[in-house]
Amino acid sequence: MSRSLCMGSINKEHAHLLQQLTQRIGWNFTSEQVNMFLSVKGTWVGHWLEDELVSSAALFQYGQKLSSLGIVMVDPNHRGKGLGKQAVQQCLDVAAQTGSPVTLVATAEGYPLYKRLGFQTMGQIHRFERIQTENDVHPIEAKDILPVIVNDLEDLTLLDEIVIGANRKDVYRILLQNIDRAFKIRDTCGDLQGFGLALRKHNVLAVDPLMATSPDVARGLVEALASSWDGIVRIDVPGEQTWFMALLKEHGFQETMVSPVMMIHGDRLPGQREQLFGIADPALG
């Protein structure tokens, strides 16, 4: 008897199966990444072939103002069956209950599907990477760069809400539990001028997110985060930050990928995006 596919929920108990799926499509998430994503409040759905997970999609909702769609995957052996469309549509049905716009960062494989479902391109994300060793020294010009501490959660989420246009406190609570390093800059009055968090992903140090009042402040934070790292430093930069991207190139970063930012049920990305220099994660918005 042939086995049948069925759609169902994904939760923390399925972390190892979700990680196996990422490996089969070539994403190869760490177990820490998988557990972090599953710890963030969201709607997770996927298709099951008995006890094997062969598709997934996740919707992270930030109130009525914004939702983010991500972790959309289909096992290569089960593509062409409409599984991705079904999983994404179920997430969109959940978002429709609050009326929130839904944003995503599209892969080349996923772009045609999102276009057919009504998503419109709002911009681009440019991935920059620099290979370095722990002995590389890059000048840090800002003297007021300080480590982020747990008590900074409120300030980080307040600035994030201004920049992103939605409250993501739950996301930051999880991020702060998983970061490898994090720095902030305050002015003489103690007001937050910028911050950056960095997560370890195998030999990659992913700077996500990065928010600042200027490109120079943002670059200072990147260099602080990258200090003494042995491997690849990565940051996903919104396309509007042309000056910052030029600064990154001057300091050894190379552009390695460009991905569309797409949205449905909205005509513009909310918030003061001119202060966004690195997104939190393609899945989290």
**pLDDT tens digits, 92-117:** 999 999 999 999 999 999 999 999 99
Same-domain check for residues 89 and 197: no
Same domain, 135 and 260: yes
Residue 256 lies in a domain: yes
Neighbours of 76 (CB within 10 A): 10
Give yes or no for a contact between 146 and 183, defined as CB atoms under 8 angstroms apart: yes
**Does residue 94 sit in the same domain as residue 134?**
no
The verdict on residue 118 lying in a domain is no
CATH number at 158 reads: 3.40.630.30
Residue pLDDT, tens place only, 239-270 = 999 999 999 999 999 999 999 999 999 999 99
Is residue 273 located within the same domain as residue 160?
Answer: yes
Answer yes or no: do 272 and 137 share one domain: yes
| CA distance readout (Å), 75 to 86, 281, 284 | 14, 22, 22
What are the beta bridge partners of residue 126?
A: 237, 258
Residue 129: which region, alpha, beta or left (left: phi > 0; alpha: psi -120 to 50)?
beta
The number of folded domains in the chain is: 2
Is residue 188 over pLDDT 90? no
> Is residue 135 included in any domain, yes or no?
yes
Q: Which domain holds residue 57?
A: 5-100
**Does one domain contain both 208 and 90?**
no
148 shares its domain with 50: no
Q: Nearest-CA neighbor of 247 among 212, 274, 220, 226?
A: 220
Residues 88 and 144 in one domain: no
Q: Are residues 94 and 132 in the same domain?
A: no
Whether 226 maps to a domain, the answer reads yes
Last residue of a domain, one of 100, 135, 164: 100
Residues 183 and 221 in one domain: yes
pLDDT at 8: 96
pLDDT band of 1, cuts 50, 70, 90: very low
Q: How much is the pTM?
A: 0.94
Residue 262 half-sphere exposure toward CB, CA atoms < 13 A = 23
On whether residue 115 sits in a domain, the answer given is no
Q: Are residues 174 and 265 in the same domain?
A: yes
